[in-house]
Structure 1
Amino acid sequence: MTQRVIPDDFPREQPLGAVTGAQSKLLVRLIDGQYYAALTEDERWGRYDICEDLAQQLAGYAARKMTEHDWLLDDVLRRVETSVNKKVSTRSWEFSPAEVAWTMKRTRELLSSPASGDGGEG
């Protein structure tokens, strides 16, 4: 089995939720007999895996657009981030603001690395 490693800079957010009433409440979930206020390690791995996959796809897309349109890295990343935020705001995609920020940072890293493929430099 492959060791699953989540980068230290990947967000460690609490799941969002709301409960009505005047008294303060602690949101927890019961999973296999244990209460969790945060994501489980498996859930966090799933979130990381989705964000990493999206970053890989965005890097490939951005690299193609940079070649096709002769766009600069910052220009293409700005356009890509705008598109991602639109998908999130229309609830087509479910990412937190911290996950979007991490994904865009990771996309930039992939495009800026010497082994980013496509023979071009970022």
Structure 2
Amino acid sequence: MSYRIAIGTIDGVEVTEHFGQGKSFQILEIDQQSDEIRLLGSIEVVHSEHCGSGHDENLIQEKIQAFLDWNVIAVIVKQIGPRSERMVTKNGIEVLVFSGKIADGLDKIKKFYKRRIF
């Protein structure tokens, strides 16, 4: 069995994106048995000039819908505001706030999901 996660990153090495302002999210699939990780694609978000701080509710909902379209069950971001987090979790997507190397964040999420049965 496998599961999909989204990671807010610009460079593919570090978790760099704040959820509301995030412009780039990688979609990864993790095999629960082998821990093999596959990059499936990415979501690139275009922020309009009037969006300002990136907290436009429609834009946040568009990101969430994109995650749902990819069957993402969790998102790893550097930071997320309480309103955005509520919107994400209300849609059945778990949030992990993490700053650092993606590989370290993936270790944490794999340990978390090892304890869960799909």
TM-score range for the pair, normalised by the shorter chain length = 0.3 to 0.5
Larger Rg belongs to? 1
Richer in helix (by share): 1
Higher relative contact order (CA 8 A, sep 6+): 2
Please give the TM-score of this superposition, normalised by the length of structure 2: 0.32
